[in-house]
Amino acid sequence: MTQANKTVNKATAEQKPSRYVDCEHCSMQAVCLPIGSENHAIDLTSNYLTKRIEVSAGRNSSPLLNQVTGVKLFEQAKPLTAIFAVCSGTFKLSQQNEAGIEKIVGFRFPGELMAEDALFLETYNYSAIALDDSSVCQVFVAPLSACSKLAPELQQNLIKLLTKQSYVQQRNTQALIGKKSAECLLAAFLLNICQRYAKYSGNETQIELTISRHDIANFLGIRRETLSRILSKFQQEQLISIKGKLLVLLSLNRLKQLADN
Amino acid sequence: MTQANKTVNKATAEQKPSRYVDCEHCSMQAVCLPIGSENHAIDLTSNYLTKRIEVSAGRNSSPLLNQVTGVKLFEQAKPLTAIFAVCSGTFKLSQQNEAGIEKIVGFRFPGELMAEDALFLETYNYSAIALDDSSVCQVFVAPLSACSKLAPELQQNLIKLLTKQSYVQQRNTQALIGKKSAECLLAAFLLNICQRYAKYSGNETQIELTISRHDIANFLGIRRETLSRILSKFQQEQLISIKGKLLVLLSLNRLKQLADN
DNA sequence: GTTTATATTTGATGTAGATCAACAAAAGAT
DNA sequence: ATCTTTTGTTGATCTACATCAAATATAAAC
């Protein structure tokens, strides 16, 4: 474990567990765990293949234009050399279209993967931006590729991992297309992120909301104003509470009811 | 090549090339083509691994409820034993949610894959329904899995294929979320299907539209009435023409302009 | 052929959410 | 501390699309 003391010293530290997600709760498990008893030689947790690195948040050094906040871990269209698992913190994944318009395509919490959906391809499909002081496990592709040629089981595990991941991804986005009302959309989103964050925090009724309203609205395909109104409404109706960065879900049942409409 | 003479005899046959898509234009190529010169033993085009089968359309035998039209090639949640490539015809892919609501998650034209996104998983993620008299190449997973253990190159090819596929899929759906207006959405959709169909027909300005308005609307997340209105408007504006089942794009440029808004 | 069912188009109306605009509250910068 | 910038909230209006409803066209059944 590397040091993340900076994070601990911050004002918001009370709400945030001062620990990394452990390997047992990480989606990379299928890749990292050594395969079969005879194959112990291939242990991807050795530093040869993987490396834990810190990503400090802090806004981009150049506040010229409406630049993205946070720090880029990797960048869309650049050569892909490694994939990542989030150990602590939060990331947003964004794509820029030809016109340069930013579209948030997802968020990642501890235990979740980034760029795995482009494994063995040439370039990253999206950029990853830290919204927080974060840490990640970096898995280099070249040695992974070499290893997997030696160990067919590893490769089958990889394929299973990737297909499962892409299925989850698809469900996440397909659900949102359903053209539910913005309220349902938001209810579904809040439940989703709290549930995912719970793997890390242990509590699926609350989350430290490091994601800006702008990014949530962008991701959901609604306007910031609309998002803000619905959040206010949810608070009036005692469905949620927001104090500073802490979001609490007050009634999972009613939110679930709203979500699947 | 198996016989597809039934199809040729149909009234709509003039508009439709009476041939299968050839292997050169098929997305399964990376899997089917024998690998390396030394590995000729592994030729997946042998009948051992793949098999071409016919799927007659014709509506479902039970017109009781608002049952899906067409014939199911495989069914969501059933055990996955094979993946498929479309040789001729059209398929729609549909998912049912817990409430039993049908959601169209995609269409497949000749040369495109089905169920590959669940390869090595237990069950199909969606059902595939033939909208046409169609034919497919069936690739059995068990022998494919066995083979790929022998040939790491095949497996790397598979991973590349899958990740590319899932990227294209994602782009297709993400583009639709962009919450463009229904007009942009439809323009993008028409361009997309014509372009994909062109691999088969050779002409990217027209398509034999076997997909119902209902299914298009469902896929795009708009109402049938809205779809119908926009189609009428596009015809008035000489952007497209519809005669029977034949859809012709009259101005690719103006449609493209509309599409990326 | 006729009849029945299904698919598609068109019209009238209501509403959710976009848009424009102003204001309030944080967060950085000096 | 003040000043500036960014981020979030609330109000007023407008429009695209959903919804309800009815007419027409197409396809299946007899």
CA–CA separation, B143 vs B55, rounded Å?
A: 23
Q: At what angle do helices A182-201 and A224-236 cross, to 10 degrees?
A: 70
CA–CA separation, B44 vs B25, rounded Å?
A: 16
What's chain B's average pLDDT? 79
pLDDT of residue B3: 36
Phi, psi of B203 (to 5 degrees): -130, 115
Residue A235, pLDDT > 90, answer yes
Residue A13, pLDDT > 60, answer no
User: What is residue A79's DSSP assignment?
Assistant: B
CA dihedral A6, A217, A61, A118 (to 10 degrees): 80
Verify whether the Cβ–Cβ distance B163 to A162 is below 8 Å.
yes
pLDDT of residue A120: 77
Residue of B120, B169, B173 lying closest to A177 (CB–CB): B173
- State mean pLDDT over B113-119: 89
Long-range (24+ apart) CB contacts under 8 A made by B247-250 are: B247/B190, B247/B194, B247/B206, B247/B207, B247/B208, B247/B209, B248/B205, B248/B206, B249/B190, B249/B191, B249/B194, B249/B204, B249/B205, B249/B206, B250/B205
Residues of B in contact with A126 (CB under 8 A): none
Q: Which residue has the higher pLDDT, B179 or A138?
A: A138
Mean pLDDT check: name the lowest of A46-50, A133-137, A199-203, B66-70: B66-70
Report which of A166, A167, A188 is spatially closest to residue A177, judged by C-alpha positions.
Answer: A188
Mean pLDDT check: name the lowest of A79-88, A212-221, B10-19: B10-19
Residue of B98, B120, B164 lying closest to A159 (CB–CB): B120
Q: Which residue has the higher pLDDT, B18 or A228?
A: A228
Percent above pLDDT 70 for chain A:
78
Verify whether the Cβ–Cβ distance A155 to B156 is below 8 Å.
yes
**Can you count the helices (H) and strands (E) in chain A?**
8, 11
Residue B235, pLDDT > 90, answer yes
Nearest chain A CA: its distance from B234 CA (Å): 23
Residue B64, pLDDT > 50, answer no
Percent above pLDDT 90 for chain A:
38
B2 and B8 in contact (C-beta within 8 Å)? Answer: no
CA–CA separation, A84 vs B212, rounded Å?
A: 42
Phi, psi of B127 (to 5 degrees): -95, 150
**Residues in A lying within 8 Å of B, measured between beta carbons:** 95, 97-99, 103, 105, 117-121, 125, 145, 148-149, 152, 155-156, 158-160, 162-164, 166-167, 169-170, 173-174, 176-179, 221-222, 260
Under CATH, which number does the domain B5-177 receive? Answer: 2.60.120.10
Length of chain B (residues): 261
Residue A36, pLDDT > 50, answer no
pLDDT of residue A102: 87
- State mean pLDDT over B206-211: 93
Report which of A49, A114, A175, A199 is spatially closest to residue B173, judged by C-alpha positions.
Answer: A175
Residue B91 pLDDT class (50, 70, 90 cuts): very high
- State mean pLDDT over B74-98: 91
Residue B2, pLDDT > 60, answer no
Report which of A52, A202, A226, A29 is spatially closest to residue A112, judged by C-alpha positions.
Answer: A29
CA–CA separation, A117 vs A127, rounded Å?
A: 13
Burial A182-195 (b: 16+ CB within 10 A, else e): bbbbbbbbbbebbe
Residue A240, pLDDT > 90, answer yes
Residue nearest to nucleotide C28 (CA to C1'): A59
Residues of B in contact with A158 (CB under 8 A): 159
User: What is residue B79's DSSP assignment?
Assistant: B
Tokens linked to B115: 């169920």
Report the SS3 class of residue A119: coil
Cβ-based neighbours of B190, under 8 Å, separated by 6 or more? B240, B247, B249, B255
User: Where do the domains of chain B lie?
Assistant: 5-177, 182-259
CA–CA separation, B2 vs A258, rounded Å?
A: 51
Verify whether the Cβ–Cβ distance A163 to B103 is below 8 Å.
no
In the numeric block, the tokens 């810190």 are attached to: A54
Cβ burial of A100 (10 Å; 0-12, 13-18, 19+) is: exposed
Tokens linked to B96: 């049912």
Residue of A148, A160, A177 lying closest to B177 (CB–CB): A177
**What element of type H or E holds B31?**
helix B29-32
Which bases along strand C come within 7 Å of a protein CB atom?
5-12, 16-21, 27-29
Residue of A117, A145, A179 lying closest to B167 (CB–CB): A117
Tokens linked to B171: 């782009």
pLDDT of residue B7: 33
Residues of B in contact with A118 (CB under 8 A): 163, 167
Phi, psi of A74 (to 5 degrees): -150, 165
Nucleotide nearest to A180 (CA to C1'): C16
Give how far Cα B6 sits from Cα of A63, B2, B12, B47, B131, Å.
66, 12, 12, 24, 15
Residue nearest to nucleotide C9 (CA to C1'): B228
Percent above pLDDT 70 for chain B:
78
Mean pLDDT check: name the lowest of A173-177, B45-49, B61-65, B104-108: B61-65
- State mean pLDDT over B233-258: 93
Tokens linked to B146: 């066995």
B242 touches strand C (CB under 7 A): yes
CA–CA separation, A230 vs A234, rounded Å?
A: 6
Under CATH, which number does the domain A182-259 receive? Answer: 1.10.10.10
CA dihedral A78, A79, A82, A83 (to 10 degrees): 50
pLDDT of residue B32: 72
Provide the CB-side half-sphere exposure for B130 (13 A, CA).
24
Residue B113 pLDDT class (50, 70, 90 cuts): very high
CA–CA separation, A186 vs A211, rounded Å?
A: 14
| A109-122 pLDDT, tens digit each | 999 999 998 887 88
| B137-194 pLDDT, tens digit each | 998 888 888 877 777 777 778 888 888 888 777 776 766 665 578 999 999 999 999 9
- State mean pLDDT over B96-101: 81
B128 and B93 in contact (C-beta within 8 Å)? Answer: yes
